[in-house]
Amino acid sequence: MKMLINVPETVVADALRGMAAAHPELAVDVENRVILRKDAPVAGKVGLVSGGGSGHEPLHGGFVGPGMLSAACPGEVFTSPVPDQMVRAAAAVDSGAGVLFIVKNYTGDVLNFDMAAELAEDEGIRIGKVLVNDDVSVTDSLYTAGRRGTGATLFVEKIAGAAAEQGLPLERVEAIARQVNENSRSFGVALSACTTPSKGTPTFDLPDGELELGIGIHGEPGRERRPMMTSGEIAEAAVDAILADITPRNPVLVLVNGMGATPLLELYGFNAEVQRVLGERGVPVARVLVGNYVTSLDMAGASVTLCQIDEELLRLWDAPVRTAGLRWGM
């Protein structure tokens, strides 16, 4: 497999150096693997810290900036960051108002963020935590006890980020983040496997003419393997799987997310089918976001995330944001 890299051992550091050069509004610590808002800490503002294995860009480093995260901690590819990174990030963004850890439900992330929370609290930093576990595909998997954290991470980071930007206290920001997670569900599909730099070959075998329904963002097995389906059929499978788990009472935010190798031409066509299915199922749509946001290296495929919202959450979603991977209203 051809890759635009030097050597696998430096791929994350090289990417961080490139990110620093492209985004001078960020403070990128390549050696310690921490990406910060350059203006952190912001007086009176709750800090938001997230992180995870690299390979899911723009998650999480691309979501650092006004209206979203205060800091992100990138691990090696598909590998959790270590507690020292999180403690360093928390100390850098804490203004005295506390820090919220946003954690995707993968075993390594959960263990390391829990350890980091204890260490940070020993240093006098108030810590809140929210666990993102929105994936309806499977319960318990290769990387997870319980449901995986996937596309809803973007919703949690954006909406909680807006709440923090408006000066809400830690307890309220944490409650809003939990509400977003509880109201969100996701389902993904893979048309091809991804390839990690260290391995150089696909992480699993997916024969021509087949797809994997319910895939995870590390290439974890899904619900089932089927012969290739049309965009409309995939949309029906994804939306129906979500609606079997949650019945939205309010309008929904919709994320149609590419897994890394699916072009926007296909994603917008897929979104048209998702909107058709939601209309047929009587689900009103408040906002739609289409693009590659929570990816899996070079995997072809897509995921759908729905989040039922009220007026407050919609207002926070619409609030200005300025990051490398998401920006509007500024």
Q: Catalogue the active-site residues.
A: 56, 218
Contact 152, 53 (CB under 8 A): no
Angle between helices 311-318 and 170-182 (to 10 degrees): 100
Cα distance between residue 215 and residue 281, in whole Å: 24
Closest by CA to 297, choosing from 159, 200, 212, is: 200
What tokens appear for 94 in the block?
């804490």
Beta pairing class for 301-308 and 285-291: unpaired
Cα distance between residue 99 and residue 41, in whole Å: 11
Rg (the chain; Cα; Å):
19
Q: Which residues pair with 28 in a beta bridge?
A: 35
- Between the two ends of the chain, the Cα-to-Cα distance in Å is 40
